[in-house]
Amino acid sequence: MSGEIYSYLFPELLAAGARDVYLTNIMMKKNRPAQKLTVLTPASCRKKIEEIIFKETTTLGIRRRQVERSCLERKYLKLDSSLGEVTIKAAYYEGDLVKFAPEYEECQKIARKKGIRLQEVYDLLKREAAEKLF
């Protein structure tokens, strides 16, 4: 399958409810290189996800298995930063803050608008969030 198809496929799967989509390089029978598509999705979205995969890819079959998932508690906080208001995603383990980060899409917009590197935006916002929110 042409690699270009994945640029179309990934957003379609995510919009249909997939939680994650990724590729893994593998070797098929007769030593043929290939890419394995993995889609993590809730059972409630399975039928729609399978429809998309069957219609939009060259696959003839799908292997399914159940997995369990553990997640950190998340809170979304607003930070009034020197670059404007930004959403900070904070993650907690058993009530303790273990990590936080500014939202990617908002950082990307700021970097483009202000003409500065994305990493500079992240670094500045993380410093300001540490001082003002935590």
> Could you give the domains of the chain?
4-56 (no CATH), 73-132 (3.10.20.300)
**What's the CA gap between 123 and 114, in Å, rounded?**
15
Please write the tens of the pLDDT for every residue from 15-62: 999 999 999 999 999 999 999 999 999 999 999 999 999 999 999 999
**Residue 134 has what pLDDT?**
84
**What's the CA gap between 117 and 111, in Å, rounded?**
6
Please write the tens of the pLDDT for every residue from 52-74: 999 999 999 999 999 998 999 99
**What's the CA gap between 125 and 105, in Å, rounded?**
13
* Secondary structure class of 33 (helix, strand, coil): strand
**What's the CA gap between 115 and 130, in Å, rounded?**
24
